[in-house]
Chain A
């Protein structure tokens, strides 16, 4: 079994400030890790994914995440946010045998203020 905990349900931040959205996971086997963004009334869009290799993963829209196996974390970061980054962000984990069977966290609402 696997689980995902997103440590902050809401993160307010001012425009052009840095942001970190925290994600911890648990699993008894090796996993793949994902971050998705969801805008209102839309489906999920993949921001980035960690499959193997370098623990620092770069994604779209200037986001990056770092996989920390010892701390079982996969925190998402952006050095300077924009108003358009306001959205819901989901961390997800899947077993390496099937990336399609993902377990999601409950999401973090990022609100960027002017």
Chain B
């Protein structure tokens, strides 16, 4: 158990729709990163939030956006869903600078039809 939870577990959407995925972490974990893991591939870094501000972004378009809240929860929003957005979305949290260890949630499996 990592203390990181994600909801929902599974989600089915159609192309063009919007989706919000949620992540909740342990108290004090003020850094959260989101990853996309397509089938048969390793996770790819989407973006990171630190103390509610975006702190780096991978090679993903602006229709991928996020929020981090003071209660150590966060959201990943994806607009105008495309078929290629079908993947497992993972969030990972850290206690902050110097700990150098991420704790991963179980992921949300998104299917876009």
Q: Which residues of A contact B (CB under 8 A)?
A: 4, 32, 36, 41-46, 49, 51, 90, 92, 98-107
**A32, A44, A51, A100 pick with most chain B CB within 10 angstroms:** A100
Chain B residue numbers with a CB within 8 Å of A90 are: 42-43
Could you tell me if A32 and B100 are in contact, using CB atoms closer than 8 angstroms?
A: yes
Task: Produce 1/0 per residue, B3-25, CB < 8 A to A.
Answer: 01010000000000000000000
A43-B107, A46-B102 as given contacts; A100 in contact with B44, CB under 8 Å: no
- Residue of B40, B55, B104 near A44 (CB, 8 A) is B104
A43-B106, A44-B90, A101-B48 as given contacts; A49 in contact with B33, CB under 8 Å: no
Categorize the interface residue count of chain B: 20 to 34
Chain B residue numbers with a CB within 8 Å of A36 are: 104
Q: Which residues of B contact A (CB under 8 A)?
A: 2, 4, 6, 31, 33, 35, 40-45, 48, 55-56, 58, 90, 92, 94, 99-107
- Residue of A32, A41, A101, A105 near B42 (CB, 8 A) is A105
Could you tell me if A99 and B40 are in contact, using CB atoms closer than 8 angstroms?
A: no
Chain B residue numbers with a CB within 8 Å of A98 are: 48, 55-56
